Amino acid sequence: MLSSNLQLITIIVLILPIIAQSLLTALLLKEAGIKNVTILEYQDRVGGRVYTHYFTDDPNDDKRLYGEIGAMRLLYVDGRPDLTQDQLVFDTIDYLNEYNKVDNPEMEIKTIPFILSNPNALYYFNNKKDQNGKMMTKNYSTTANVSQLGYPDNIPDNYLSFYDEAFAPFFKELDQNFTNGLKALEHYDQHTVYSYLNEVFLPEKLPTKWNDYDEIIKAIETNLMGIG
Ligand SMILES: Cc1cc2nc3c(=O)[nH]c(=O)nc-3n(C[C@H](O)[C@H](O)[C@H](O)COP(=O)(O)OP(=O)(O)OC[C@H]3O[C@@H](n4cnc5c(N)ncnc54)[C@H](O)[C@@H]3O)c2cc1C
**Ligand 1 neighbour 17 (Cβ under 6 A):** yes
Q: What interhelical angle do 19-31 and 87-103 show, nearest 10?
A: 50
**Ligand 1 neighbour 53 (Cβ under 6 A):** no
User: pTM score, two decimals?
Assistant: 0.65
At residue 4 the predicted structure's pLDDT band, cuts being 50, 70 and 90, is: very low
**Ligand 1 neighbour 39 (Cβ under 6 A):** no
**What pLDDT score does 176 carry?**
93
What end-to-end distance do the CA atoms of the chain give, in Å? 62
What separation in Å is there between the alpha carbon of 49 and the centre of ligand 1?
3
User: Tens digit of pLDDT for each residue in 77-134?
Assistant: 888 887 788 888 888 899 889 988 887 888 888 898 888 788 999 988 889 999 999 9
User: Tens digit of pLDDT for each residue in 169-191?
Assistant: 999 999 899 899 999 999 999 99
Q: How many helices (H) and strands (E) does the chain have?
A: 9, 6
**Element (H or E) spanning 29, and its range?**
helix 19-31
